[in-house]
Amino acid sequence: MTRLALRRLALAIPTIVAAATLVFLLVHVVPGDPVDVMLGESAAPADRAALRQALGLDRPLVAQYGAFLAGLATGDLGRSVVSGEPVARLVAARIPATVELTLGALAVAIAIALPLGVLAAARPGTWIDRGAVAFALLGAAMPSFWLGPLLIIAFAIELQILPVSGRGGLAHLVLPACTLGVGMAAILTRMTRASVLECVGEDYVRTARAKGVGRVRVLARHALANALAPVITILGLQFGALLAGTVITETIFAWPGVGRLTVEGIQARDYPVLQGCILAIAAGFVLASTLADIVNAALDPRTREAR
């Protein structure tokens, strides 16, 4: 088990480096000049050239990439071309808010998906099952940029029971967490239902029922326990998707996280900030997937040899 965990963590390093390379190349393809953003298009050519040299933008792309990787190895992501602050500090200051929002959305998704998926599998073909399938389809079809404003209108403007935006107590977390978590809940509901249904038909479940074990206990202790492996795999992948989804949700609710910082970096053509934000999201995606593999191996020893 320890060997598997170390191997998966070792594989995560080149994956993150590849993601960093892709981020660096894509960011430099984005149109716009950060020098124009800082000095304006009417700045003198000498001032523009001096600032470009100070930022290292006059060097070849390969040299900039080498400096980027060297800084990444030491935790130095450069400085913001707008504020001049270290990018690592800016991103680190926003990560707690994004993690809070992501974990809140994850809690919403699990609280909805697991009970609903198990109930649908326990009563296939009933109104509960049809309702769960309908929720899964509807939840997957609702984009966060539509659901978020709808929740704001309903609960913040009309009912006035929740704050509109910002980060504060638990009340501020409810609307953005629900906006981000409903889509994930829809996917997890379908996966939980399908996985539990598959396990219900196995011999060990029929044997337990033949021995007189109650239906609830069979579902909870036997079927659900063995159905968790694929659910956790999807959970790990969707956790990374949640991190990426914070870009829209944080912008809608003025949530001060990495997602909102990404949008600010795009608007300001701030290459270092944009690179740092996307790299943080990509690293979160890779680490979440790696952790899901490790947890799967711990739950199902049969997967250890395959990995």
User: Are 79 and 86 spatial neighbours (Cβ–Cβ below 8 Å)?
Assistant: yes
**Roughly how many angstroms between the first and final C-alpha of the chain, as a whole number?**
11
Set out the domains of the chain in order of their start, with CATH numbers.
Answer: 91-306 (1.10.3720.10)
Mean pLDDT, to the nearest integer, of 242-261? 87
**Integer Cα distance of 167 and 109 in angstroms:** 20
Rounded to the nearest 10 degrees, the angle between the axes of helix 87-122 and helix 224-252 is 140
**Integer Cα distance of 99 and 14 in angstroms:** 24
Given pLDDT bands bounded at 50, 70 and 90, which one contains residue 303?
low
Tell me the per-residue pLDDT of 176-195, one tens digit each, with 9 for 90 and over: 999 998 888 888 888 888 88
Tell me the per-residue pLDDT of 25-41, one tens digit each, with 9 for 90 and over: 876 766 666 676 666 66
**Integer Cα distance of 218 and 224 in angstroms:** 8
Residue 302: pLDDT over 60: no
Given pLDDT bands bounded at 50, 70 and 90, which one contains residue 234?
confident
Residue 85 confidence (pLDDT): 87
**Integer Cα distance of 99 and 265 in angstroms:** 19
Q: Where are the alpha helices (DSSP H) in the chain?
A: 2-29, 34-39, 45-55, 61-73, 87-122, 127-141, 144-151, 170-200, 203-210, 215-217, 224-252, 258-268, 271-299, 302-306
| CB neighbour class for 57 (10 Å; exposed up to 12, middle 13-18, buried from 19) | middle
Q: Which residue has the higher pLDDT, 216 or 250?
A: 250
* Tokens at 175, concatenated: 């609307």
The angle formed by the CA atoms of residues 144, 154 and 98, to the nearest 5 degrees, is 40
DSSP letters of 157-168? IIS--S-SSS--
Tell me the per-residue pLDDT of 105-144, one tens digit each, with 9 for 90 and over: 989 998 998 888 888 887 888 888 888 889 888 888 888 8
Tell me the per-residue pLDDT of 53-98, one tens digit each, with 9 for 90 and over: 776 777 887 888 888 888 888 888 888 877 888 888 999 999 999 9
Residue 306: pLDDT over 60: no
